[in-house]
Amino acid sequence: MVGEFVPKEFGWELTFLVPYSIFMQLFANLWRFWGIDTMNIFLRFGFNLLGLVIAFAGYALYQQCDCCFQPHDKLTVYLKRRASLKFTK
């Protein structure tokens, strides 16, 4: 795992995680701006389903980290491994 960071190895993760994080933030802002109390039951249910789809799509990229045993995306796990190897040398 020691070596230079090659973005091509993480093309799918980077392609998905950047729009995912932007979309998740927009969803949270819209949720706060609009407010759940002003929605009818069908619109509220649709927003809840959209939030679940976003959450499960993001969770699909996650794996357990060897460093802290918490779930992270593959890119974070790789960077944490590199950092821990650098500090243990």
Mind listing the pLDDT tens digit for each residue in 65-79?
Answer: 556 666 666 667 777
Residue 46 above 70 pLDDT?
yes
Phi/psi for 6 (5° steps) reads -115, 105
- Residue at 2 is within a domain: no
Q: How confident is the model at residue 10 (pLDDT cuts 50, 70, 90)?
A: low
Task: Name the pTM for this structure.
Answer: 0.40
Question: Can you count the helices (H) and strands (E) in the chain?
Answer: 3, 2
Confidence of residue 62 (pLDDT cuts 50, 70, 90): low
Give domain status of residue 3, yes or no. no
Does 73 fall in a domain?
A: yes
Q: Is the pLDDT of residue 85 over 70?
A: no
| Average pLDDT rounded to a whole number, residues 14-21 | 70
Take residue 27 and report the two structure tokens written for it: 């969803």
Mean local confidence (pLDDT), 42-66: 72
Domain range for 52: 8-88
Assess if residue 78 is contained within a domain: yes
Tell me whether residue 1 is in a domain: no
Task: Provide the number of structural domains found in the chain.
Answer: 1
21 located within any domain? yes
Whether 65 is covered by a domain: the verdict is yes
